[in-house]
Amino acid sequence: PDGKQLTFFFLYTLAYWGLNGAGMALLSRAFSCAGSVDPSCQPMTLTLFQGYVVMTVLVVGLMIPAAPGMMGTFQAATKVGMSLFLPATVVNSSGLAYANVTWLCQTIQQVGFGLLLLSLGHLSFRDIATKMDKGGEASAPTA
């Protein structure tokens, strides 16, 4: 790749990681105790730095082979990252809810982008299966 492509690659990567870490910190604010009447409620909020650390631990944790959809491994890695900053009672209650919501949001996003790109590429699952049966591997559509 030329220098321009490489520069854009790193800029897009930096933007993606920046938005993802900030999003994790922002989402944690939904799990604070604001509006709760329960006096035992312990707030779960992550600073921007903590959001990036949790995301980094999550990425490392997802390197472990996992069940389909990363179910279980995703939540465990998220809890490990949060346990660096939050008490166990928070991690095992609202922290687990946070991990599940984060997993669901990312899964919906990935499936949504996949369906959108299938549609834009004028492909169906039947087309892909047929191409895989004939050639062993599906090839990208040409314009």
pLDDT tens column, 81-109: 999 999 999 999 899 999 999 999 999 99
* pTM, full prediction: 0.79
49 assigned to some structural domain: yes
140 assigned to some structural domain: no
Indicate the number of domains in the chain. 1
The pairs formed by 99-108 with CB atoms below 8 angstroms and a separation of 24 or more are 99/74, 99/75, 100/75, 101/27, 101/30, 102/24, 102/27, 102/74, 102/78, 103/70, 103/71, 103/74, 103/75, 103/78, 105/27, 106/74, 107/69
121 assigned to some structural domain: yes
77 assigned to some structural domain: yes
143 assigned to some structural domain: no
Mean pLDDT in runs of 10 for the chain (143 residues)? 92 94 93 78 89 95 89 95 94 93 94 92 84 68 59
Query: Which domain covers residue 112, as residue numbers?
Result: 3-135
141 assigned to some structural domain: no
pLDDT at 139: 58
